[in-house]
Amino acid sequence: MEKLELLKSIGKNIKNIREKKGLTQVDLVGKMNGDIDTTNISRIESGRTNATLYTLYRISQALEVTLEELVKHESPTI
Distances (CA, A) of 78 to 26, 65, 75: 38, 29, 9
Task: Assign a CATH topology to domain 3-67.
Answer: 434 Repressor (Amino-terminal Domain) (1.10.260)
**What is the predicted pLDDT for the residue at 77?**
54
Compute the CA torsion angle 51, 42, 22, 76 (nearest 10 deg).
-70
Give me the pLDDT at residue 40, please. 96
Q: pLDDT tens digits, residue range 21-62?
A: 999 999 999 999 878 999 999 999 999 999 999 999 999 999
